[in-house]
Structure 1
């Protein structure tokens, strides 16, 4: 396996782009990332002609894989051929809005934007404008895009910016608490409840490992936000239209948030974001209300066509059955491999998401009877329960350097492309087949 062309391209890129990339996570691969030439169903082919089974799927947007079904491709091409954009509304954005409103329980109205970051930024502004309050509660290690209000670390007593360029005064309005910790959430509301505009959380932590919620946690958050008059915001940029099918993760957990942010799949692989929720809240966006929100490329007709065609295809075909079944096969196979070769490690994920977290402690090989058969689900009866990550801090304590510096490269050498670090999700697409799962499990056996 050679990488001469990727190395030469990266050398050129370093001269004209910071770090040689346009998104920081792409440079996590050492000593340099491989450059992709094209996709093929569930695979990518790099600039040197090497083929990899692709479990990154563009970091989540590619539900259908790299080769789009004919009807989806035709719908996208038709809109592209009619003209790139117009600066005025088009019917296709209404069509996609109606589709989302029909299928997602909490969404009565929706505003389309251009990225997940733009969606969460706008949702935070909307929550503050609607409630007249300033503070936002977030989960430690949760990720809500590259925005000032959520690039915050520490805890609720001493929040600090997690990036240069963000004033400390911004961070003081953000209150980080551990995921799955009801006591910490209750404490922050008892102290700051009158000035908390919203709790912003992913249904499943998806950017700091895959951390599943404890039973009843989201119901608790829903109750305490209602009690204090704060908004409950689900960030479904990752889980939206992947976990729980067309109803998204909120339908799987049976929780109705006030606002939901979307991205990735809702644009069918094109740049997109969206904020949906109760009509009385969404209508506070301009021009109906007083919370400013606008964007030149918002509701872009090609993106809207890609999103609508993707979701309609998923609704009318066996997409979710296919990807969820392969996801189950992967997690089940990985559970068996880990039990045999690395019993301290934790298999996580649900539906078409999966990951092995290199946790440092776990039950012994002879203590695994009755374990969750296809990934940790925070089941107290599972022998892995007390060792399974409950929050981002538990994932951060894992052997992340071993994952990135040794394991990732071993998988690449066997033709398997995994996410660029220990923390990012991995995804199954409609383009994957059972042979991809079987080959990947064999590679895990060798690498672990």
Structure 2
């Protein structure tokens, strides 16, 4: 493939943007290709190369790059009426009503502008509502670029995971391993009276894809009930992708107190949202004393895109289609690994998927996990499949980034650039795309 124009654009970008990108996950070796346009389930780069796209904007693009006509019409209609108003509009009420009607935990919604803003606001709300300071997060979980959650270490020795955050901020955050019920119980025994919230992704989505072991989320729910803390599900990634319109909380049957949203709820436009019980959400200003505000919050074009996106999904076979294709893809990957790299692990559920380059994995697969790890104790791979963020971090991450990603790109398949970010199937993908992808995996592995 020729990448001369992308190389030239990257050379220009390095002069005016740090690292030549506006989001660090877009940086690849030796340089990223620059996208010129999207077409269905494909992207075309600045040099005319065409790729099957499984990045899907890192999750927001449920329909790929060609929106259904009702979604496109709703966007164009609201965009042509004026960019924004600084006043409420009917469409934001309609989207809030839709979310509250379908998501088990949601009675009221506050819309914001990004997943990070949603989690920042949810943490502030939890602290204001409970009048407590500490929050529990999962090691390897990701809740946006905010000071309260960019914390490494463990509950005894938390520390900032990046420069620019005072150590005193990290002291209020208690990191624990995902899927470790004993660890979370110990943290509550030690700090329960000062824990405002447990903030957890229902499925870890930025450290590979790690699903919960049976009963883990129920344990979190029980502990929060016992100690008067709030359970916050970060569904920025899983919201309206896993579990359909009920989101991952509906799939797992555990109802949090608060839920954060992003990505799909805005139909591909910048968005975030905090939903939950009315008596908690009403603590946001102006009805309560927890400040929250934003110039672009409830932007009419974003609200129209989100509402039309979700309404179309409610009226068509969107989830059945994409989940079936993703299961076909994960099943095919499992078969390929059995022959090429049996120690590796296929992960994912619904329309999410990834191959984790696990080390020293089992060489047999049970039928229970034939289309992605399900944390099934009866599976021969149960002891070696990833259960925490650390398990994924210990995989062959350099091999993924420096060799495998490049090989897949050269075969016309666009994957997320590192071992950690989730990958997605969209409504625009076809069986032909799946077949091409499996052929590329077989060759690259």
**What's the TM-score, normalizing by structure 1?**
0.99
* Distance (whole Å) between structure 1 residues aligned to residue 218 and residue 366 of structure 2: 30
- Describe how 1:137-152 pairs up with structure 2 within 5 A: 137-152=136-151
Q: CA deviation at 1:368?
A: 3.3
* Conserved 8 A contact 1:349-1:376: yes
Aligned partner of 2:418 in structure 1 is 421
Aligned partner of 1:243 in structure 2 is 242
Aligned partner of 1:6 in structure 2 is 6
Query: Aligned Cα RMSD in Å?
Result: 0.6
Secondary structure in structure 2 of the residue aligned to 1:197: strand
* Distance (whole Å) between structure 2 residues aligned to residue 175 and residue 370 of structure 1: 37
Aligned partner of 1:307 in structure 2 is 306
- Describe how 1:246-395 pairs up with structure 2 within 5 A: 246-364=245-363, 367-370=364-367, 372-395=369-392
* Distance (whole Å) between structure 2 residues aligned to residue 207 and residue 372 of structure 1: 21
* Distance (whole Å) between structure 2 residues aligned to residue 361 and residue 383 of structure 1: 13
Secondary structure in structure 1 of the residue aligned to 2:270: coil
* Conserved 8 A contact 1:376-1:388: yes
Aligned partner of 1:435 in structure 2 is 432
* Distance (whole Å) between structure 2 residues aligned to residue 109 and residue 316 of structure 1: 23
Q: Deviations over 1:144-193 (max 9, x none)?
A: 00000000000000000011110000000000000000010001000000
Q: CA deviation at 1:84?
A: 0.2
* Conserved 8 A contact 1:371-1:383: no
- Describe how 1:162-241 pairs up with structure 2 within 5 A: 162-241=161-240
* Distance (whole Å) between structure 2 residues aligned to residue 58 and residue 189 of structure 1: 37
Secondary structure in structure 2 of the residue aligned to 1:261: strand
* Distance (whole Å) between structure 2 residues aligned to residue 371 and residue 316 of structure 1: 31
* Conserved 8 A contact 2:368-2:374: no
* Conserved 8 A contact 2:366-2:378: no
* Conserved 8 A contact 2:60-2:263: yes
1:50 is aligned to 2:53:
no
Q: CA deviation at 1:370?
A: 3.8
* Conserved 8 A contact 1:209-1:355: yes
Any unmatched runs of 5+ in structure 2? none
Name segments (4+ residues, structure 1) moved above 3 Å: 367-371
Q: CA deviation at 1:71?
A: 1.1
* Distance (whole Å) between structure 2 residues aligned to residue 442 and residue 21 of structure 1: 31
Q: CA deviation at 1:420?
A: 1.1
* Distance (whole Å) between structure 1 residues aligned to residue 76 and residue 66 of structure 2: 14
* Conserved 8 A contact 1:6-1:35: yes
Q: Alpha carbons of 1:340 and 1:304: their partners in 2 closer, same or farther (altered >3 Å)?
A: same
* Conserved 8 A contact 1:234-1:260: yes
* Conserved 8 A contact 1:371-1:384: no
* Distance (whole Å) between structure 2 residues aligned to residue 158 and residue 71 of structure 1: 51
Aligned partner of 1:411 in structure 2 is 408
* Distance (whole Å) between structure 1 residues aligned to residue 244 and residue 317 of structure 2: 11
Q: CA deviation at 1:373?
A: 1.1
Aligned partner of 2:20 in structure 1 is 20
Q: CA deviation at 1:340?
A: 1.1
* Distance (whole Å) between structure 2 residues aligned to residue 235 and residue 203 of structure 1: 7
* Distance (whole Å) between structure 2 residues aligned to residue 371 and residue 184 of structure 1: 27
* Distance (whole Å) between structure 1 residues aligned to residue 263 and residue 385 of structure 2: 28
Q: Deviations over 1:283-316 (max 9, x none)?
A: 0000000000000000000000000000001111
Name the count of aligned residue pairs.
Answer: 445
* Distance (whole Å) between structure 2 residues aligned to residue 250 and residue 368 of structure 1: 28
Q: CA deviation at 1:369?
A: 4.9
Any unmatched runs of 5+ in structure 1? none
Q: Alpha carbons of 1:353 and 1:369: their partners in 2 closer, same or farther (altered >3 Å)?
A: closer
Q: Deviations over 1:328-382 (max 9, x none)?
A: 0010000100111100000000000000000001223xx4354511011000001
* Distance (whole Å) between structure 2 residues aligned to residue 240 and residue 50 of structure 1: 32
- Describe how 1:53-202 pairs up with structure 2 within 5 A: 53-202=52-201
**What's the TM-score, normalizing by structure 2?**
0.99
